[in-house]
């Protein structure tokens, strides 16, 4: 069974600090997808990144970066020079290939990390 | 154009009532889902349909019944609503195959259900 653990329930930082959100996953599959989503106070789920299990390249997008390490089953997310607008709940999620042949199966979410950035 | 649209956005109803939430996607995706987010923000899958066929049915009370009239629509009907059903319900869709550039899952904006 697949599982995602986000050990940090809440993180509080001051603006301009760097912050890393941890994500550890469990799966028996060799083909799977990892995601990060942001849920701002308005409530919608905002897609941040998708990574498939064969692509271990780290990624940087502006102030956001992701570190994927299969050896430790981790997919951590770092925000550099945090801003108040980064305050949100962040979810890491895992999807295995569906037995029916579709690429995307059940998406399992971590518990979420509440990030608060203070001015 | 909204890719995955859910209606209504807010739903307040009394215990014991029956209600429906509608979901439509215009992305041409084959698979649609319902997720429930509880008061602690935990997101859990409820159902998944692939081309109108039920493929995932998690441990959900049978008061919840999904219906997919075609692959672009997945509605959620809830009978005899209980206080514990209060939550945010998200609809989502995904393509059949990884195109390399897709987002995987596209979520609707959610329906906040409050049972009083």
* B5-28 confidence digits (pLDDT tens): 999 999 999 999 999 999 999 999
Q: Is the pLDDT of residue A102 over 80?
A: no
Determine contact, residues A50/A33, Cβ cutoff 8 Å. yes
Residue B76 has pLDDT above 70, yes or no: yes
Report how far residue B16's alpha carbon sits from residue A119's, in angstroms, rounded to the nearest whole number: 46
Would you say residue A100 has pLDDT above 70?
no
The answer to whether the Cβ–Cβ distance between A104 and B45 falls below 8 Å is: no
> For position B68, what pLDDT does the model report?
93
Q: What DSSP character marks residue A4?
A: E
Average pLDDT over residues B28-52: 93
Give the confidence band of A99 by pLDDT, cuts at 50, 70, 90.
low
Helix (H, G, I), strand (E, B) or coil at B51: coil
Inspect the interface and report whether the beta carbons of A102 and B97 lie closer than 8 Å: yes
Put simply, the answer to whether A50 touches B104 (Cβ < 8 Å) is yes
- Percent of chain A predicted with pLDDT > 90: 78
Q: Is residue B2 predicted with pLDDT exceeding 80? A: no
Q: Which residue, among A3, A37, A48, A103, would best test binding to B if mutated, counting the most B CBs under 10 Å from its CB?
A: A103
pLDDT tens, position by position, A24-82:
999 998 889 999 999 999 999 999 999 989 888 888 899 999 999 999 999 999 999 99
Chain A residues lying within 8 Å of B93, measured CB to CB = none
**With 0-12 CB in 10 A as exposed, 13-18 as middle and 19+ as buried, what is B116?**
exposed
The answer, for B56 touching chain A at a CB cutoff of 8 Å, is yes
* Test the A interface: residue of B6, B40, B41 with most A CBs within 10 Å: B41
Residue B102 has pLDDT above 80, yes or no: no
| Whole-number pLDDT of residue B11 | 97
Is A43 in contact with B33 (Cβ distance < 8 A)?
A: no
Cβ-based contacts of B109 with chain A (< 8 Å) = 43-44
Q: Report residue B67's pLDDT band, with 50, 70 and 90 as the boundaries.
A: very high
Q: HSE of B62 in the Cβ direction (CA atoms, 13 Å)?
A: 0
For residue B53, pLDDT beyond 70:
yes
In angstroms, rounded to a whole number, what is the distance separating the alpha carbons of residues A24 and A75?
A: 6
């Amino acid at each position: 069974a697949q599982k995602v653990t986000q050990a940090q329930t809440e993180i509080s930082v001051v603006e301009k600090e760097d912050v890393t959100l941890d994500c550890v996953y469990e799966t028996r599959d060799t083909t799977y997808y990892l995601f990060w989503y942001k849920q701002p106070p308005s409530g919608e789920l905002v897609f941040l990144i998708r990574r498939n299990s064969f692509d271990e390249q780290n990624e940087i997008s502006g102030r956001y970066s992701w570190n994927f390490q299969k050896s430790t089953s981790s997919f951590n997310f770092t925000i550099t020079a945090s801003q108040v607008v980064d305050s949100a709940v962040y979810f890491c999620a895992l999807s295995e290939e569906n037995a029916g042949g579709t690429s995307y199966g059940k998406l399992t979410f971590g518990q979420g990390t509440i990030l608060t950035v203070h001015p | 154009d909204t890719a995955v649209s859910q209606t209504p956005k807010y739903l307040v109803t009394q215990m014991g009532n029956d209600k429906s939430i509608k979901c439509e996607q215009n992305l041409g995706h084959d698979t649609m889902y319902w997720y429930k987010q509880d008061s602690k923000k935990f997101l859990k899958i409820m159902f998944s349909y692939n081309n109108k066929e039920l493929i995932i049915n998690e441990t959900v009370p049978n008061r919840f019944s999904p219906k997919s009239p075609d692959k672009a629509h997945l509605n959620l009907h809830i009978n005899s609503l209980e206080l514990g059903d209060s939550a945010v319900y998200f609809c989502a869709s995904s393509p059949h195959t990884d195109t390399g550039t897709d987002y995987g899952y596209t979520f609707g904006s959610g329906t906040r259900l409050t049972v009083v």
